[in-house]
Amino acid sequence: MTKRISFIFASVALLAVACGGSTNGPATPRPASQAPAGSIPAGPAASTPAASTEPTGTVNLLVGIAEEPAIEQRLNDQVKEFNDSHPNIQVKRESLDNDQLRTVIQTRLSSGSVDLFGYDTGPGFGGVLARAGLLADMGPAYDRYRWPVFDWAKARCTYKGVLSCLPGQVEEVGIYYNKTMFDADGYSEPKTLDDLKTIMDGLKAKGITPLAFGDQPKWPAGHQFSMTLSNIVGRDGLDARFYGEKHWNDAETVKAIDIFFKQFKDAGYFPKDPNAVTYEDANALFYSGKAAMIPTGTWLVSEITEKAKFDVGFMAFPSIDGSSISPPAGLGGGLFVNANSKNPDAAFAYIDWLLKPEQIKKWDLGTFASIPAVPIDASSVTVSPLFGKVLSDLAASSGTSGTFGYNIDVLAPAAFNDVMSDGFQNVLAGKETPQGLADKLEAAYQKAMAAGDTIQKP
């Protein structure tokens, strides 16, 4: 399961990987020092359909709850703005804890009590709902409104040839670091794994936790695995694994598991028992200055900007034994319309409003610090220096560059993700070897391939 989910909801302009991954993304007050955003390639704006009559009715929207009350309020404000300007359509937003949302989603969709909802894409998430016949075909709405979503992002929302969602934000997984602390100690961004270990050894000697990694909810480990494996094998190597051309239990995969979950744990780079540390508590260690770095995704930019009282940098995981640097990037979650919706046309009209350039600039870029999967000129939007850095990393490629890797859980089937979730905790606890976990991942993936539950090679 990926934590991005609730933040993705904000980024679609309500949204979380992602990112998966996805869940957080507090909007933030403007800091005293601001930097201009980069420019996401502009293209044809989403346009209003030719039809003169707007749909009417109520849209019941179900999303994951934001962790910060201030963000939850801003999300409600966004819905209110739409409702105030569209008296014929009223969106009723309901937010649930993400674990609860995943538990009830199929029941709620079957009952027809939800029209529009935020969820993660990928075979293990949206794909499961598609196989259950619970997702509306959004292809006609794309044609009607001419939504300018990137083709690669639409592909992540397509299940057995049916376009079934509006993609959420473009995300990257990496490491945030306390730049003020780094500067004081004379550290710069590490270029190699040995550089990173040297820094972490120095921090540990001073009584500072090097990496605020908490895996109590189980999903964070998949993001860390994505960082190490993406670097070691690159995007081509990940593609080969997803398409069944290479195995998930080879030496490279074992090495990716061993580095983060055994070597780092044995070296004392994490809190004492990462399996008992929640994501929120890990973040709090970083904000308090008790930890120097936190490995997570760009969905956390807004919260970090608001809560960190020091300069923050963002970097990719460094080169591993001469490997490339291929940070996981791509699509987080998305917006889906229930196949049993009583009012799908009104839901599509709300989505169209979210995709207006002025709404994207105000909410996605200006409020939630998220990058939508559509062309948008962001040059006129003023953002925090940290978000400016993220934009510079991701905007030019729009998540398509071959230099990026993948957030694995977004593209993997549900059974594979379940093995990851439990398996990484077992490796951290010394109950499983990296090779043993890799063997279980391979077995799970082969079974999913045989059942037709994995992504297909284009």
Residues 234 and 165 in one domain: no
pLDDT digits (tens, 9 = 90+) for 222-256: 999 999 999 999 999 999 999 999 999 999 999 99
Q: Which two tokens stand for residue 226?
A: 């994505």
189-to-265, 368, 384 alpha-carbon distances in Å: 21, 26, 20
Q: How many C-alpha atoms does 380 have within 13 Å on its Cβ side?
A: 8
Length of the chain: 458
The burial of 237, by beta-carbon neighbours within 10 Å (0-12 exposed, 13-18 middle, 19 or more buried), is given as buried
Count the neighbouring beta carbons within 10 Å of the beta carbon of residue 192.
Answer: 15
Range of the domain at 182: 172-328
Report residue 168: phi and psi, to 5°: -90, -135
Place of tokens 């999300």: 75
Say if residue 98 is in the same domain as residue 206.
no
Q: Give residue 121's pLDDT.
A: 86
Boundary-marking domain end, from 377, 394, 411: 394
Pick the last residue of a domain from 394, 419, 445: 394
- Whether residues 27 and 59 fall in one domain: yes
pLDDT of 144 reads 96
Where does the pLDDT of residue 395 fall: very low under 50, low under 70, confident under 90, or very high at 90 and above?
low
Q: What pLDDT, on the 0 to 100 scale, is given for residue 28? A: 27
Q: Is residue 317 one of the residues assigned to a domain? A: yes
For residue 16, is pLDDT > 60? no
Q: Is 148 within 8 Å of 398 (Cβ atoms)?
A: no
Percent of the chain whose pLDDT exceeds 90: 65
Q: Is the domain of 124 the same as that of 232?
A: no
Q: What is the mean pLDDT of residues 264-271?
A: 98
Judged on CB neighbours under 10 Å (0-12, 13-18, 19+), 369 is buried
Tens of pLDDT, residue by residue over 148-165, are 998 888 988 998 899 999
Please give the structure tokens belonging to residue 447: 């079974």
CATH code (residue 128) = 3.40.190.10
Tell me what the pLDDT averaged over the chain comes to: 85
For residues 384-391, average pLDDT: 82
279 and 255 part of one domain: yes
What pLDDT digit, counting tens, does each position of 297-346 carry?
Answer: 988 888 898 899 999 999 999 999 999 999 998 777 899 999 999 999 99
Confidence class of residue 417 from pLDDT cuts 50, 70 and 90?
A: very high
What H or E segment, with its residue span, contains residue 260?
A: none
How wide is the angle at C-alpha 349 spanned by C-alphas 344 and 355, nearest 5°? 130
137 with 29, same domain: the answer is yes
Quick: pLDDT tens for 56-108: 999 999 998 876 788 889 999 999 999 999 999 999 999 998 889 989 999 99
| Token representation of residue 209 | 């936790």
pLDDT of residue 54: 79
Instruction: Identify whether 152 is part of a domain.
Output: yes
Number of domains in the chain: 2
Residue 33 predicted with pLDDT over 60: no
173-220 tens-digit pLDDT: 999 999 999 999 999 999 999 999 999 999 999 999 999 999 999 999
pLDDT score of 25 more than 90? no
Q: For residue 39, name the pLDDT band (cuts at 50, 70, 90).
A: very low
Confidence of residue 387 (pLDDT cuts 50, 70, 90): confident
**Residue where a domain terminates, one of 394, 410, 443:** 394
